[in-house]
Structure 1
């Protein structure tokens, strides 16, 4: 079994979609550890705020199989990939880490996920795994967060509990 750290986000009916996504993840992977949920502004476009969280799962799926499963879940939620990359979405789930793999491709699969640089990905992951070392970098998530420019004004926590 492998461990995967996921980033979840939604800005279209976000509370409902994140709760439903959490349910789907638990159905597929059993015990799932969820971070608190945070409200963050859209990045790269003008749009409604996102609700973001992180999840840690164990899986026997390969990184490619897991990525495909997550894309199929996003599609079930109405994700439209025909528009601009940065746009509103009912559900976005990315694999940020998969064990200690460093991987480029196929397709959009990148491990570690480059969006780790953004507070909306880093802060929730730091909440669930502060001691996790970033493959290829060696720093822990806590070290990355302590050096992050947004640490003095972190994302706003929401009352939504995915746990």
Structure 2
């Protein structure tokens, strides 16, 4: 069994898509452990604010199977294949970590944006503060403490989870 860490983000009907994405993830991966939900300004383009969070789960699927499942969930929630990188999203699900695997294929692991995007690092550091990044060899708590918090605007929000996830 591998432990996976998952980033979720949305800025199109964000409450609806975040809840639906979490329920779909739970259907495929079972019990989820969740960070708080954060609101952040869009990064890389002008757009409405995003809702972001990180979840963890256990899986026996391969990395490629996990990523394929995420793509299917995104498409089921209105994500259009081939959208440009910096644009509004109905649902964006990314694999951040798969145990402590370091690889470039089929996706980059650990995901590079962990170190550069507050909307990934803050919820991850909250979920697993003592876990060590497999490349930089620092805890996520330490990485968040050192992060330039003036570079991106992000704040925790009150978010009502579907009763199936409580």
- TM value normalised by structure 2: 0.92
- Displacement of 1:151 in angstroms is 7.3
1:32-111 matches, within 5 Å, as 32-106=32-106, 109-111=107-109
- Provide the residue aligned with 1:24 in structure 2: 24
CA distance in 1, matches of 2:23, 2:150: 30
> Match for residue 126 of structure 2?
127
Q: Give RMSD over aligned pairs.
A: 1.6
Shift in CA distance, 65/148, structure 1 to aligned 2, threshold 3 Å: same
Change (3 A) 1:40 1:153: closer
Distance change in 2, residues 1:101/1:151 (3 Å): farther
Residue ranges of structure 2 left out of the alignment (5+ in a row): none
Native 8 Å contact 1:77 1:91 kept in 2: yes
Verify the 8 A CA contact 2:43 2:86 in the aligned structure 1: yes
Give the TM-score of the pair, scaled to structure 1.
0.93
Which residue is 1:12 aligned to? Answer: 12
Task: Flag structure 1 segments of 5+ consecutive residues without an equivalent.
Answer: none
Question: Equivalent residue for 1:160?
Answer: 159
- Cα deviations by residue, 1:64-108 (Å, 9 ceiling, x for unpaired): 1100110111011111133321100100010111001001023xx
